[in-house]
Every structure is written in C-alpha cells, then in structure tokens.
Structure 1
Amino acid sequence: MSSGPPSCEAGFAAVEASGDHPRHPRLVLIACILASSLGFVDGSVVNVGLPAIGRGLGGDAAGLQWVINAYLLPLSALLLLGGGLGDRFGSRRILVIGVALFALGSAGCAAAPGLAWLLAGRAVQGVGAALFLPNSLAILGSTFEGAARGRAIGVWAAVSAISAAVGPVLGGALIDLWSWRAIFLINLPLAAGAIALTLAVVAAPPRRAETGRLDLLGAILATAALGLSVWGLTVGAEPRGWTSASIGAVAAAALIAAAFVWVEGRQGDRALTPLALFASRQLVGLNLMTLLLYGALSGFLLLVPYVLIVGAGYRATAAGAALLPFPLVMTVGGPVMGTLAGRFGARLLLTVGSAIVGVGLLLALRIEGDASYWSAVLPSVLLVAAGMTGAAAPLTTAVLSAVDRRHTGSASGLNSAVSRTGGLVATALLGAVLASRGAALIAHLHQAALVGAGLAMMAALCAWWGLAGDARRAQAPAGR
C-alpha cells in the first residue's frame, strides 16, 4: 500500500445490505477506521523506512523491493477472497482474524533477525490486510443506510488520508529516535484497540443467502500468477538484465493467468473475478486507467522519500514530512472534486486529473541531490496531489455505475485489487533506482519520472476512451 488515496474498496460498503442497527453506530465507525488505518499507516511508513531497513538487515535493491511487494502481493491477490470469506463466515469474525494476523505479522517484522524473516512477516501482514480491509467496509455498509452511509464512508476516507499523512512523519521520527523496528511496533496498539472495540460494539452482520463454494482455486491461481510475474520483473530489472529464469517466470505467469481466466469462466458469477465484468467498455477503461495511474503514483511515493534520504541526506523525519502535503490536499480537495464530478461527470475529471499527475511527475525532473525542497520537491508533490484529487474523487462511483447491481461488489473489489497490482508491478521495476547511488540515483529518478509521466498520460487516454458518451453522467461524491 501507499500513502495515496483510499482505494475503491469503498464500494464494498456501498453495496452491502443493511442489517440490524447497533446501539452505538459511531463506535462501530471508529472500530472500522481503526482497522483500516492499520493498512494505510503501515503502507506509508514502510516507504520512509526502506533505507534504514537496508542498512539494518543488509538488504540489496531486490530485497528492498520485496519489503514492499511481499505485502502487496497477497493483498492484491486475496482481497476479493477476503470479502467472500466475510460473506460466508461473518464480516466481524473475518475482520478480527485479519487484524490479529496483521498484528502477528507486525510483531514478526519488528523482531526479524534477517531479511527473510522480515519478508515472511510482511506477507502475513498482507494476508491480514486482505481480510480486514473489505470486511471493515462491509460492516459500515450493514450498519448505515442512505445518506448516513455516505457520510460514514466519507469520514472513513478522510481519516484514512489523515492516517497516511501522519504515518511517514511519525515513522520517520521513530526511525531517527530509535530504530526502523519501531515502525512495525506502532501497529500493535492500533490492532489491539480495533479488535477490542469490534468485539464490543459490532454485532455479527447477517450472512448472505447464497452459500456457494468459495473460489479458492481462483485465489491460488491469481496469487501464483502475480507472484511469478513480479519475481520475474524484479530479476529482469536488475543490472544484469533478463535471464532465462526471469523470462521463464514471466512465461509461466502468463500460462497460469490463462488458466485463471478459464477457471473464472467456468465459475460464472461465483468466480473471484466474473468475466461478465469485462463486457463493460467503461469498466475496462477505468481499470486500465487505474492500473497505469496507480503504478505511476506508487513509484513516485516510493522513490521521493528514498531519494531524499539516500541522495539528498534528509533525515527520515524530514523525508516523511516531505510528502505531507499530498494527503492533506486529497483530504481538502476531495469533497470539492466530488461536487464537480456531479456537475460535469466523471470523464472530464478523470482525464484531466490523470494528465495533471503526469505534469506533476515531469516536475520531479527538477529534483537534484542539492535541490531546495520548496522550489523542486514541493511543486511536484502538490501537482501530483491535485491531479490525484481530481481523478480519485469520482472513480468509485464511476466503477459502480459501469456494471449492473449484482456485479457492483465484484467490480469495486476488482478495481481495488487493480490499484494494488499497479503498485506491485511498479515496485518490481524499480530495482535499478534502488540499487544506485549519487549522480546515478538522481539520473534513474529522472528516468522513472519520465516513465511515470507517460503512464499517467496513457491513463488519461484510457479514461477518455472508456467513458466515451458518458461525459455528462451525474456522479455522486465518493471517497477513494
């Protein structure tokens, strides 16, 4: 995860049937926010901690990439399965299990004697997050109705953005004052509070009438395909270039992905990803846009603090604060963009917002080892934030509007998984940047910024193409 905007899993809440009203709905909202904040705080903190982790455990560039991707891989692949488990066994139960797993993984990361143990802990965190993220929002959906549901999701999105803002600064301070291990320990009190409050105030929501088999085979195939492709891309991006092993891994991933499509076709509407979703031109365009835009954004949010620490000599606290304007702009501008989306439709805002992100990434070409934060770094951060604010606000509702009601849960979950996959692939391709130092590091940052700008512009084209004829469709404000 990144310190970017909350993902389209807000749609999970938007489509849940309402259950019995709890006595303390505000406490339910707090419990769901505590659970979700675990993922947002941890994702933004780890980006700042990468240089210290590399020094502490002797990790090379590939190892540092896997510190991010060992978490994103199970999260991306198992997010939809986590929602299905909540439908089958109850959202409260699966949320508590997910938070407990996340806490266990966090404790393992904090105590890791070596990189392999750290990666194992990160994978456990990813599995836990795949369980609690969709189910925290499913609980919101079953607790609130109508306008109250929209307000609850808005509060969730705003607090998530604030959590992402505070995370890097708090994490940087902990690294400077103590150790990188502290950034994982801060998850433990959050997890304990989320579990205790959930058990105290959240009633077990009603299960859905359908109790068909879970698509476990689809989840296994998706995980294998993502894992092999990410490993192959990571190895291929290393200085030695592509080898027979990395090429073979990507080829095997393609075959497994084809098997996944075949299995999902046989499963029909019970599939992890129903193929009927891809009959919608709008949904295809929106998911392509999401993959490209969030890939570009993830690379930016990973590289800027890393380059500031390694290349410009920033302390971890200062590097964390460097990105603070990003979520603050998102929090303030989101409601305004939601109103504009209702007036002008999603197509224009998604297209223009993506293009502005591309321009902001081009401004990152001004970042040098001795460049001023105020004149070089801040303008890039502000413009990328402004573009993401325009693109993110209408995206959730646009995705939900692209399919019929029986597929809205699958569509929102798919879009959320796609956004994580964009970050997964981007991180896998950044090995050369993370392995370089000095002038080479700055040069690689500039190359990555150019590629990211190109991806953002392609995302703008995908949004314009996918929503053709839909420019004036009214969009209700929604958090992403």
Structure 2
Amino acid sequence: MSTESIDRVVDDRLRRRLLAAAILASFVSFLDGSITNIALPAIERDLGGGVSTQQWVVDGYLLTLSALILLAGAVSDAAGRLRVLRIAIVAFVVTSALCALAPTAGVLIGARVLQGVAGAFLVPGSLSLIIAVFEGPAQSKAIGTWTGWTTVSGLLGPVVGGGLVDGVGWRSVFLIGLLPAAAAMLLLGRTSDGARPADRQRIDVASAALAALGLAGVTVGLIELGAGAGAALPPAVAGVLLAAGGVALGGFLLRNARTRRPLVPPSLFAARNFAWGNLSTFFVYGALGLVMLVPTLFLQRVVGLPATGAALVSLPSTLLLILLSGRFGALAGRLGARRFMTAGPIVAAGGALTASFVRDPATALWFVIPSTVLIGLGLSMTVAPLTAAVLGAVPPESSGIGSAVNNAVARVAGLITVATAGWILGGVVTLEGYVRSSIVTAVLLAVGGLVALAGIRGRASDGA
C-alpha cells in the first residue's frame, strides 16, 4: 500500500477503505460495551466475587471510557487522528487479551479499566477520520454507514456473546474483537496524518483533569445509585461522588471558558446544529439506554424466554439499522437532517408506546416485536442524520473533540436512564414496570424529536 495523507484523499477506493477501518475500529469498542453482560454469570462461576465483581467487570470499562472521552477527542485533534487511532487499536487488542487471560476477578477488573482507556480513544479518532476524508452529502452517507454498524454492534453483542459463552466459554467474549481490530489496522495501511493546526497542538492539562474527574465522579455515582441492593458503595458515598463529579464538571466549564486553549472550544456551541443536536442526542440516547436494557430483562424474567431468544427479538432492529442507516444518512445530506431527526424519534416513540399496551406475558410478543420493528425504523431514520448534523457543524480541525462531546453526551444520557431504571421499574422487573418504562422511553424519544424540530436548521453538512 502506498503512503498517502488523509488531507489529499481523492481515490474513492481509499475513502471506502478508510471508512471500513473507522467502522471496524469503533465496532470493537461498542461491541465490547454490550457483549460482556451476557458472560457475567459464567465469569462469576469461574472467578467468583459475587454481584460486586459482575458490576465492576461492566462498570470498570464504562468508567474510564466515559471519563476520558473528552480528553481523547482533544488528543486526537492535537496529535493526529491516525496516530492516535493506531495506538488505541493496539492498546485495545492488548487489554482484550489481558481480559481473556485474567486468572482472578481483580485482574479482570483491572484489565477492563485499561480496556476502557483504549476504547475512549477509538470512537473520536474513527469519526474524525471520516470527517477528514468525506465532504458534503458523501460525508452524511459515510456517517450514516458508521452509525448504523456501530449501533448494530451494541445490539448484536448479547446474541454473539450468548453463542460464544455457551459454545466456547466466557474468555472468548474478549477475544472476538481481535479480528475486526486487526482488519482495521490492515485497512489503515500506510495512510498518514495530515498537517496539524498550530493552535491545537497543546492541551490544557487542568481542563483535561477536571473533565476526567468530573465524568468519572458522575459515572460512578450514577452507576452505584442505580445499582440498588447490589451496589458496591454505600448510597451516601455514591451521592458524594456524584456531587463531586458535578462540581468538577462545573470547574471544567469555568476554566474552559477562560483559558486560551480550551479543551472544548466554546465556539462549537455557537453553531446552532451542534448545540441543538447535542440536546436532541441527550433525549434520544437516554431513551436508547432503556431500550437496550429493559425489554431484554422483561422477556427473560417475565415472559420466560432464554437469553439468546430474548436477544433475537432485537434482530429486526439490527437488520433495519444495517439496511437503512446509510440511506437515511445520504438523504439527510441532500434534504436536510431536520425532518429525519424529527420524524425518526416520533416513529420510535410510537414503537415504544406500542409496547405499553402489553397486558399479559403470554401475548407479550405480539406487542414487543412490532414495537422493536418501529423503534428500529425510527432509530434508522435518526442516528445517522443526528450525527451528521452535529459533526457537520464542527470545523474539520476540531472533529475529534466534536465527536467526543457528542459521544460523552450520549453515554451520560444512557447512564442516567439506566441508573434510574430501578426506580422506573419499581425495584423489580414486572409487566407493570415494563409498561412504565415503555411510556418513559416514548416521552424521551418524542422530546428528542421536538428538540430537533425546534433547533436544527439547514442541511446536515451546512454546519448551521
């Protein structure tokens, strides 16, 4: 493969190759965030540690992933997209192998914490790579393809994980990501980074520390407060961490507004589509947090389906996202993101309301499956135009931090709704709790659509 700078990409075949590399690099991060859940009982049987171990196998990854994602975006812009992306892929491979080989629960949790660090650098780097090599409607379509496949990775995780755990063992769950990671490295080839803007070469360390500490405190606080009786920390300690995280984030905002080299340039939020798009992201991805958690629990614990069977119910959504996300992204590039960002969440809200009519577990699938189809269709209409609208409003030299902000908003929104799921469900998964969760999901989606209607302007690529 010849060496070529991403600032001078003119070959469509190279663009497609770099798009595939970006998708695969992000795919492993999103997949690992969802596939591990299905392996938790087997991990506990093998390594012991009880509920606390199971929680922190999941939460250790989410903690560093959420805490470092803003820093990762800034580093990607400052040090070079491809350089950071390559290092992150190698680090993810190494930490995944450590997880698979872990002899004790403590080693596994430590490896998961390190794996989250690598995962935090994968997503901003891959998205900023797409922004660098695609423009206009082609950029919207590329983002649509990326969002479709990365969303699919989260939905496929339980299905793939169930088969691996039953057929090979839980350690294979951490090795499955090595194949797409290796493929991403091969596809990147010898392509080099473009020139770095001089004013983005340095990072404000104090801002980065405040952001990391703030996101870490909020993440741990929300996780522990939402864990109920299975929490590893007392509620008072979790509350203190949540409050301290909020204070640190407040300090970050103050410093970020005053420093000469802000971690997150305030000018990003002066772009209407970036500000309103992130607000819509908060509501839509908050709803998505419930969509990915509650129906699977309901189908297993109330309806009585096995884990793999419950995961297969999400297959229609997965197929719709694969088939339609790129197409809706392309349409948004030509027609504007606003109509899709409005209609998509409303369609998905209709799907969530459909599930709220369940009255008997014996007939639940007659409502849950149509609900899944409508939610999948609505998300297919939404996620690509939303991401394209947000990132289309970001200057190319700030694409890493722009994508990091959007991903941080999405992850914090999901953490909040998952943390409050216990209250919504009433402390235990029941039919009545599932109905309540479906209504809350529908409201969040509808608000996300109305926010987009009120705030998004122009085409996805206009940066309005």
* TM class by smaller structure: 0.7 to 0.9
The change in CA–CA distance for 1:348 and 1:364 in structure 2 (over 3 A counts) is same
Deviation string, structure 1 residues 222-280 (Cα, Å, up to 9, x no partner): 22112222322333335469943233222212211111112211234x32222233344
* Structure-2 residue corresponding to 1:204: 192
Residue correspondence of structure 1 range 128-143 to structure 2 within 5 A: 128-142=118-132
The change in CA–CA distance for 1:153 and 1:451 in structure 2 (over 3 A counts) is closer
* Structure-2 residue corresponding to 1:456: 445
Contact 1:95/1:132, CA 8 A, preserved across alignment: yes
Bigger Cα displacement from structure 2, 45-54 vs 224-233: 45-54
* Structure-1 residue corresponding to 2:168: 178
Contact 2:140/2:333, CA 8 A, preserved across alignment: no
* Structure-1 residue corresponding to 2:237: 245
Query: Gaps (5+ residues) in structure 1?
Result: 1-15
* Structure-1 residue corresponding to 2:310: 319
* Structure-2 residue corresponding to 1:97: 87
Residue identity opposite 2:72 in structure 1 = G
Contact 1:68/1:427, CA 8 A, preserved across alignment: no
Q: CA deviation at 1:171?
A: 1.7
CA distance, structure 1, for counterparts of residue 435 and residue 77 of structure 2: 46
- Among 402, 405, 412, the alignment partner of 1:411 is 402
* Structure-2 residue corresponding to 1:76: 66
Deviation string, structure 1 residues 108-142 (Cα, Å, up to 9, x no partner): 33344555443333222221122222323444555
Residue identity opposite 1:223 in structure 2 = A
CA distance, structure 2, for counterparts of residue 287 and residue 390 of structure 1: 17
* Structure-2 residue corresponding to 1:266: 258
Contact 1:351/1:460, CA 8 A, preserved across alignment: yes
Contact 2:223/2:415, CA 8 A, preserved across alignment: no
Contact 2:329/2:388, CA 8 A, preserved across alignment: no
Contact 1:48/1:319, CA 8 A, preserved across alignment: no
Residue identity opposite 1:184 in structure 2 = F
Residue correspondence of structure 1 range 356-371 to structure 2 within 5 A: 356-366=347-357, 370-371=361-362
* Structure-2 residue corresponding to 1:219: 208
* Structure-2 residue corresponding to 1:425: 416
Residue identity opposite 1:385 in structure 2 = G
Q: CA deviation at 1:148?
A: 6.5
Q: CA deviation at 1:301?
A: 0.7
Pair 1:38-2:28 in alignment? yes
Q: CA deviation at 1:444?
A: 3.6
Q: CA deviation at 1:430?
A: 3.5
* Structure-2 residue corresponding to 1:125: 115
Contact 1:342/1:477, CA 8 A, preserved across alignment: no
The change in CA–CA distance for 1:184 and 1:436 in structure 2 (over 3 A counts) is farther
The change in CA–CA distance for 1:138 and 1:412 in structure 2 (over 3 A counts) is closer
* Structure-1 residue corresponding to 2:390: 399
How many residues get paired?
Answer: 454
- Among 319, 332, 338, the alignment partner of 1:328 is 319
* Structure-2 residue corresponding to 1:234: 223
* Structure-2 residue corresponding to 1:355: 346
| TM-score, reference length from structure 2 | 0.82
CA distance, structure 1, for counterparts of residue 52 and residue 434 of structure 2: 17
Q: CA deviation at 1:101?
A: 1.9
Q: CA deviation at 1:192?
A: 3.5
Contact 1:104/1:124, CA 8 A, preserved across alignment: no
Give the SS at the match of 2:277. helix
| TM-score, reference length from structure 1 | 0.80
* Structure-2 residue corresponding to 1:289: 280
The change in CA–CA distance for 1:333 and 1:152 in structure 2 (over 3 A counts) is closer
Query: Gaps (5+ residues) in structure 2?
Result: none
CA distance, structure 2, for counterparts of residue 323 and residue 477 of structure 1: 34
Bigger Cα displacement from structure 2, 78-87 vs 17-26: 17-26
Instruction: Report the aligned-residue RMSD.
Output: 3.7
Deviation string, structure 1 residues 166-213 (Cα, Å, up to 9, x no partner): 543322211222333321121233334434554xx2332233131532
Bigger Cα displacement from structure 2, 173-182 vs 291-300: 173-182
CA distance, structure 2, for counterparts of residue 190 and residue 297 of structure 1: 25
The change in CA–CA distance for 1:147 and 1:464 in structure 2 (over 3 A counts) is closer
CA distance, structure 1, for counterparts of residue 279 and residue 344 of structure 2: 15
The change in CA–CA distance for 1:426 and 1:216 in structure 2 (over 3 A counts) is farther
Residue identity opposite 1:217 in structure 2 = A
* Structure-2 residue corresponding to 1:8: none
Bigger Cα displacement from structure 2, 284-293 vs 47-56: 47-56
Deviation string, structure 1 residues 27-80 (Cα, Å, up to 9, x no partner): 544443332221233234234445555665667667655444432333333234
Q: CA deviation at 1:98?
A: 0.9
CA distance, structure 2, for counterparts of residue 68 and residue 125 of structure 1: 11
The change in CA–CA distance for 1:477 and 1:153 in structure 2 (over 3 A counts) is farther
Residue identity opposite 2:204 in structure 1 = D
Residue identity opposite 1:273 in structure 2 = V
Bigger Cα displacement from structure 2, 428-437 vs 131-140: 428-437
Residue correspondence of structure 1 range 274-285 to structure 2 within 5 A: 274-285=265-276
The alignment-based identity, stated in percent, is 35
Give the SS at the match of 2:7. coil
* Structure-2 residue corresponding to 1:257: 249
Contact 1:291/1:422, CA 8 A, preserved across alignment: yes
The change in CA–CA distance for 1:375 and 1:35 in structure 2 (over 3 A counts) is same
Give the SS at the match of 2:66. helix
Give the SS at the match of 1:272. coil
Contact 2:303/2:364, CA 8 A, preserved across alignment: no
CA distance, structure 2, for counterparts of residue 59 and residue 431 of structure 1: 23
